[in-house]
Amino acid sequence: MNSLAAKKSISTYDVYQHAIEQFSHYDNERYHYLDSAATSQKPDCVIDAVTQGYRHFCAPVHRASYPLGEAASSAYETARARVAQFINAPTSQLIFTKSCTEAINQVTLGWAKSIIKPQQKIWLTRMEHNANYLPWHQLCQTTGAELKIIEMDEDGCLLLEQEEIWHESTFLIALTHCSNVLGGENPIQELCDKARAQGIYTLIDAAQSVSHLPLDVDKLACDFLAFSAHKMYGPEGIGALYIDVKRMAEMSPLLMGGGIVESVDEQHIVLREAPYCFEAGSPNLSGALGFAAAADFLQGLPAAAVSQYVGELGRQFRQALAQQGNVTLMPIAGGGEHSSVLSFTVDGVHPHDVAQVAADNGVAIRTGNHCSHLLLNHLKVGALNRLSLGVYNRREDIEPLIKSIKLATEIFT
């Protein structure tokens, strides 16, 4: 793949042109996929990497000394190194998980549960996906710790100045980098800097940002960062957790099973060193290879240009939606103007009906609560329509959506 990142000067449209060539199965004349926040389409290099895993490396990882087994183990570890490098993490501090959800549960059950004390506080935002809400809710129920919510203003900006957040009773702040409903970007660098200075732990849910915002865990200095491959053009069934080296020493495996021990007898088990002790069971080799290929794909497109491209396109969608007299737009998280995710409602038309008419016209948008009950309760809506963009989307996707909204309005009002 020739890298766009290597070019000196690029326009944002170059991002689309360079990317679209790599989605050879995606027919953007007939289909308008506006659901990348749920899962993205996969470029050819990712599909090839997954199939190559099965064709050329089909053997157990870390379990066989014959050549094919060694090749599989080595390919898996190379994939780990590539994904770790993508977020500027040391290879040994990145563990593969099933998903972002599992990564967060590894933190709550494998780390926080054994060290948090009753009455200590966990702060989350109101815009968390259930993946970063329910595990903390369960933790607080079982440990006597207290769950607290960081509020936001009507523009979608987090109210981070509340003194209580920065009180010594705060154990950890866990928040999403970009909301899966409001899009935008939360100020994670400032938050992590302040938290570290005060001895407060941080977990960043990067599920929605990893596809288009640069992530550098060394600079960020968070304690944990979780993401999934399938939202960054990689395969389903694999995610990753970055763990700060000190936290790693305090952590226990979420899952017990094969591949994580040095020795076992009836009284004792001796775990292998990290990261291997956190990956019980047969590893997902093809998933890891696809994950690494997705990281390569994104590194070939400069992150700043990708975020500018999808952000600008998001602004054009927003303008087009705002021109419809009957569309109500939700704010953008962080209060910015650019976002690759936009949520809206159409007056008098149920979001499910809007999505159905759109589907009938080749436009894939989502409807429902987007696993964000806290936020939807706050916004006082039962369901929202959501569009979300990937590098294969373009201006030509706007008109079919607007047409669908007009048609749904005609039919249902």
Least gap, CB of 199 to ligand PMP (angstroms): 26
Least gap, CB of 388 to ligand PMP (angstroms): 9
Least gap, CB of 363 to ligand PMP (angstroms): 20
Least gap, CB of 356 to ligand PMP (angstroms): 21
Site for ligand PMP in 235-254 (CB under 6 A): 239
Site for ligand PMP in 115-154 (CB under 6 A): 129, 131-132
Alpha-carbon span 286 to 123, nearest angstrom: 36
DSSP sequence for 307-350? HHHHHHHHHHHHHHHHTSTTEEEPPPGGG-S--SEEEEEETTB-
Our answer to whether residue 140 is catalytic in this structure is no
In the stretch 329-368, what mask flags binding to ligand PMP with x, by CB under 6 A? ----------------------------------------
Alpha-carbon span 317 to 363, nearest angstrom: 14
* Three-state secondary structure string covering 54-97: HHHCCCCCCCCCCHHHHHHHHHHHHHHHHHHHHCCCCHHHEEEE
In three-state secondary structure terms, 169 is: coil
Residue 207 touches ligand PMP, criterion: CB under 6 A: yes
Least gap, CB of 369 to ligand PMP (angstroms): 12
Least gap, CB of 389 to ligand PMP (angstroms): 14
Residue 186 touches ligand PMP, criterion: CB under 6 A: no
Site for ligand PMP (CB under 6 A): how many residues? 13
Alpha-carbon span 368 to 384, nearest angstrom: 6
Q: Which is nearer to ligand PMP, 32 or 366 (CB)?
A: 366
β-bridge mates for residue 328, sequence order: 345
Residue 100 touches ligand PMP, criterion: CB under 6 A: yes
Q: Which is nearer to ligand PMP, 18 or 177 (CB)?
A: 177
Q: Which is nearer to ligand PMP, 99 or 345 (CB)?
A: 99
**Which one is catalytic: 100, 192, 277, 371?**
371
Q: Rule CB under 6 A: choose which of 106, 120, 180, 343 binds ligand PMP.
A: 180
Instruction: Classify residue 144 as left (phi > 0), alpha (psi -120 to 50) or beta.
Output: left
| Tokens of residue 82, six digits | 């590539």
Residue 187, judged by CB atoms within 10 A of its CB (0-12, 13-18, 19+), counts as: middle
Q: Rule CB under 6 A: choose which of 205, 223, 244, 397 binds ligand PMP.
A: 205
Q: Rule CB under 6 A: choose which of 93, 106, 186, 228 binds ligand PMP.
A: 228
Residue 99 touches ligand PMP, criterion: CB under 6 A: yes
Alpha-carbon span 83 to 275, nearest angstrom: 14
Single-letter amino acid, residue 208: Q
Report cis status (omega within 30 of 0) of the bond before 214: no
In three-state secondary structure terms, 182 is: coil
Tell me which residues are annotated as active site. 371
Which residues of the shown chain bind ligand PMP in the complex (CB under 6 A)? 99-101, 129, 131-132, 176, 180, 205, 207-208, 228, 239
